[in-house]
Structure 1
Amino acid sequence: MEENKKETGQEKSQEEMVKEAVEEAKKAAADQENAETDKEETAEGQEEAKEEDVKEGEDTEETQQEKQGDKKFFGRKNKKDKKDEKIEELTDKLTRQMAEFDNFRKRTEKEKSQMYEVGAKDIIEKILPVVDNFERGLAAVAEEDKEHPFMQGMDKVYKQLMTTLDEIGVKPIEAVGQEFNPDFHNAVMHVENENFGENMVAEEFQKGYTYRDSVVRHSMVKVAN
């Protein structure tokens, strides 16, 4: 009996040892699998990191190349060609010359107009004494002689002369009954007269004329009050 118990105890211990050995083998295999898995994952992570680094490096190189290309592009754009500079220079010169010519043309036209005005006024001043003599001569004719053909002819010549002067812009200055204006009237006498208001033209000694809104000859007048 004791021998059977010893054998049974030995068998149990052997079985337990086998089980423990099997379990240890399983654990070892599992640990090995886990270690291999970790290695594979680590290797994959390293490869992915390398690929990302490579991509970033490529992106960086591409970015640098683009920046360099942009710099070159903008650099070329900012730097003008000699032909373009010459064209701009000639265009600016032509524009300035055209502006100067336009100013010269306007100035010349203005000077011609002023010269024409001065020349016309000079001629009108020389004609006005003839008009004065016509008026004095017609005013001195007696009433019974005004119907004479010669006097009627002279009156028509006078009216034609005044019509021509009016057409070119020569107008007589209104004087009698108007307020004295030194721009148009030349006062040579002063009189106190209740029939006229203050500073009014009472009489005209010589008729004045304007040419295109400028005075050719002032009216010679007598001023009342």
Structure 2
Amino acid sequence: MNNNQIKNIKSLLLKIIQYIEHRNIKNKEQIIKLIVKFNKYKRTKINKLIGIMAEFENYKKRVEKNQNIIRENANKNLLLELLSLAEDFNRCFNSNKDKNMNIFKEGIKIINRKLWNLLKKEGIKKINSKKGDVFNTDIHEAVSIQTIKKPELKDKILHIIESGYSFNKKIIKYTKVIVGKEKKNE
């Protein structure tokens, strides 16, 4: 309750008391006791409401703090995995000093596999698009349009420039493609 509502209630109670006194009602004491009881009840409810509001504010602060802790831990774990990959790159490049190209190539393959496994574990998925698929603006980005001679290639993917990816079922990078378009007859 705000101050205006409290003032209005007090004003109403005073009017009731004045009415009772003016009319010389027999049960004045009983009515006054009811009014006093009502005021106590009102204060109790207001105090409970204030307590509930304070508890809710504390709950919101705890949830926000927990979310920050979870976010920090997730970032820390991802960074540790990326550091591991960076160290693998260093070992791989240092092995190249021995002029052993097979070890170098094998190291690059291992690092590549570890990187893609890490991305997959974190929720990254490659969007499956291939040459000949129908162009779809929900998952594709046309970087170029190429004139075609075959009408069956109209609005189809002619080339994939870059793969697209989703993160937790949301597109974070669209597949960049070249799309076929019929030559207009003039």
Normalised by the size of structure 2, how large is the TM-score? Answer: 0.51
CA 195–104 in structure 1, closer or farther in 2 if over 3 Å, else same = farther
Is residue 2:129 matched to residue 1:175?
yes
Query: 1:212 corresponds to which letter in structure 2?
Result: N
Per the alignment, residue 151 of structure 1 pairs with: 105
Cα deviation, residue 185, structure 1:
1.8
Cα deviation, 1:192-222, whole Å, max 9, x if unaligned, reads 2638543222211122222223333222211
1:166 Cα deviation from its structure 2 partner: 0.5
| Distance in 2 between residues matched to 1:193 and 1:111, nearest whole Å | 56
How much does 1:99 deviate? 3.4
Residue aligned with 2:137, SS: coil
Aligned to 1:163: 117
Query: Considering only CA atoms, is the larger Rg found in Structure 1 or Structure 2?
Result: 1
Kindly indicate whether residue 164 of structure 2 is the aligned counterpart of residue 208 of structure 1. Answer: yes
Q: What do residues 103-149 of structure 1 show as CA deviations (whole Å, max 9, x unaligned)? A: 5666x479859xx5xx97xx9xxx9xxxxxxxxxxxxxxxxxxxx45
- Which structure is higher in helix share? 1
Give 1:99-114 correspondences, 5 Å limit. 99-102=56-59, 108=64
**Is 2:44 the partner of 1:90?**
no
| Shift of residue 100, structure 1, vs aligned partner | 4.0
Question: Hey, what does 1:32 align to over in structure 2?
Answer: none
Letter in 2 for 1:203: H
Instruction: Output the amino acid matched with 1:206.
Output: E
Overall identity of the aligned pairs, in %: 18
* TM-aligned CA deviation for residue 89 of structure 1: 2.4
TM-score scaled by structure 1? 0.43
Shift of the 104–196 alpha-carbon distance from structure 1 to 2, 3 Å rule, reads farther
Taking the aligned partners of 1:181 and 1:101, their CA distance within structure 2 comes to 47
Provide the C-alpha distance between the structure 1 equivalents of 2:135 and 2:31, rounded to a whole number of angstroms.
77
Relative distance call for 1:94 and 1:208 in structure 2 (3 A) is: same
Is the strand fraction higher in 1 or 2?
Answer: 2
CA–CA distance in structure 2, aligned partners of residues 204 and 92 of structure 1: 61
Quote how far apart the aligned CAs of 1:186 are. 1.7
Counterpart of 1:80 in 2: which secondary structure? helix
Equivalent residue letter for 1:79: V
Over 3 Å counting, the alpha-carbon distance change for 1:161 and 1:193 in structure 2 is farther
Give, in whole Å, the separation in 2 of the partners of 1:110 and 1:186.
38
1:41-120, aligned counterparts within 5 Å? 73=30, 76-80=33-37, 83-102=40-59, 108=64
Matches within 5 A, 1:5-16: none
5+ residue gaps in structure 2? 1-25, 83-101, 182-186
1:184 to 97, 118, 139: 139
